[in-house]
Structure formats: structure tokens, C-alpha cells
């Protein structure tokens, strides 16, 4: 699996409204066109009304690359960029499961 978390800090309330509209449209396209995208969850942050968090899980790195190259994702990035004050991307690495295949009883 391939996973990441993205935090977007938006410019103002008007930016939040438009960003959320764009995100809703994006989610429809992802669900319809991206079988390799296993989870694409979007969140508000308690106490920070201008922040949004995306949690994304893909079948593998190739599925993430296909996602990033998709026309609907490219269009989302172009439309959302002016709304964003800052963004932080964290790529995640799955920890080994000590209960799986460890050979211990």
C-alpha cells in the first residue's frame, strides 16, 4: 500500500467554501474513475476552521501516480491552488505487523 496525509491551510472563509465545493466534485470523480484509490477521506480540523486534512491510501505507488496524472486531479490542483495559504504533505510508511508472519506463538 501507498498512503499519505495532506494538510491544507486555506486563505479565508470564502476559500474554504470554494475548496469544499471543489473537493466534493473531486471525490465523485475519484470514486467513479480510480479503482486503485482505496481510501480518499477528507476532514475538517476541530478548532481550525481554515484547515482541511486529506488521508489517502492507494493500492500501490503506481495507483498514486495514475491518480496524480488524472485530468480531474490536475484540474482540482489548478483550481484549489489560489485558495491555499500553505500545504504540507506527509508520505506514510506502513509499520510491520508483529503478529503477522513473525513465527512466534
The reply to whether 100 falls in a domain is: no
Task: Give the domain CATH number at 8.
Answer: 3.30.70.100
The reply to whether 98 falls in a domain is: no
Number of domains in the chain: 1
The whole domain housing 23 covers 2-92
At 57-92, the pLDDT tens digits run 999 999 999 999 999 999 999 999 999 999 999 999
Q: Given its phi and psi angles, is residue 103 left (phi above 0), alpha (psi -120 to 50 degrees) or beta?
A: left
The reply to whether 18 falls in a domain is: yes
| Rg of the chain (C-alpha set) | 16
The reply to whether 103 falls in a domain is: no
Q: Is 0.85 surpassed by the pTM of this model?
A: yes
At 36-48, the pLDDT tens digits run 999 999 999 999 9
The reply to whether 20 falls in a domain is: yes
Amino acid at each position: 500500500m501507498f498512503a499519505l496525509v495532506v494538510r491544507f491551510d486555506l486563505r479565508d472563509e470564502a476559500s474554504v467554501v470554494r475548496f469544499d465545493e471543489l473537493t466534493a466534485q473531486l471525490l465523485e470523480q475519484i470514486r467513479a474513475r480510480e479503482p486503485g484509490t482505496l481510501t480518499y477521506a477528507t476532514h475538517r480540523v476541530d478548532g481550525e476552521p481554515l484547515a482541511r486534512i486529506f488521508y489517502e491510501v492507494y493500492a500501490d505507488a503506481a495507483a498514486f501516480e495514475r491518480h496524480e496524472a488524472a485530468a480531474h486531479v490536475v484540474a482540482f490542483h489548478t483550481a484549489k491552488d489560489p485558495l491555499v495559504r500553505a500545504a504540507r504533505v506527509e508520505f506514510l510508511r506502513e509499520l510491520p505487523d508483529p503478529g503477522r508472519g513473525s513465527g512466534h506463538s
